[in-house]
């Protein structure tokens, strides 16, 4: 996802290393889980109130969770400086949906 430090990635010498570079992408995972992806945190996204997730970075774990939403900061700052697995993200989403916070 395009963020605020992607100028080098978009350079013609580097861009070919990526399948795509986008500002926003709506991922349909296994036909069941729908995930809005963006570098920046969103307050609303497509079908948010129907259980669709939103994964973002940029904020370095400094944003307070928004109650009742399935938005997750997947930046490495929020995951002990390593990428989060889909299972770990799913676990966090499940905890948020059960606690409503």
In a domain, 91, yes or no: yes
Asked if the structure places residue 7 within a domain, the reply is no
Note whether residue 5 is domain-resident. no
Residue 2 covered by a domain: no
**Number of domains the chain contains:** 1
Total count of residues recorded for the chain: 101
pLDDT of 34-91, one tens digit each?
999 999 999 999 888 888 999 999 877 778 877 778 999 999 989 999 999 999 999 9
Between CA 55 and CA 61 the distance in angstroms is 12
The answer to whether position 40 is within a domain reads: yes
Handedness of CA 15, 25, 87, 75 (dihedral sign): positive
Query: Minimal CA–CA distance to 15: which of 6, 24, 23?
Result: 6
Is position 16 within any domain?
no
**Host domain of residue 39:** 22-99
Pairing mode, strands 71-73 and 24-29:
unpaired
Is residue 26 assigned to a domain?
A: yes
**Residue 57 counted as domain residue:** yes
Which pLDDT tens digit goes with each residue over 4-38?
666 666 666 677 777 878 888 999 988 877 999 99
Q: Which residue has the higher pLDDT, 33 or 92?
A: 92
Q: Across residues 85-98, what is the average pLDDT? A: 88
């Amino acid at each position: 996802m395009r963020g605020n430090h992607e100028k080098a990635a978009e350079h013609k010498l580097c861009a070919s290393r990526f399948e795509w570079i986008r500002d926003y992408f709506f991922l349909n995972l296994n036909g069941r889980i729908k995930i809005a992806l963006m570098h920046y945190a969103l307050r609303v996204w497509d079908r948010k109130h129907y259980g669709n997730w939103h994964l973002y970075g940029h904020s370095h774990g400094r944003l307070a969770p928004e109650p009742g939403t399935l938005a997750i900061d997947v930046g490495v700052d929020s995951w002990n400086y390593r990428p989060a697995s889909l299972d770990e993200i799913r676990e966090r989403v499940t905890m948020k949906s059960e606690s409503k916070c």
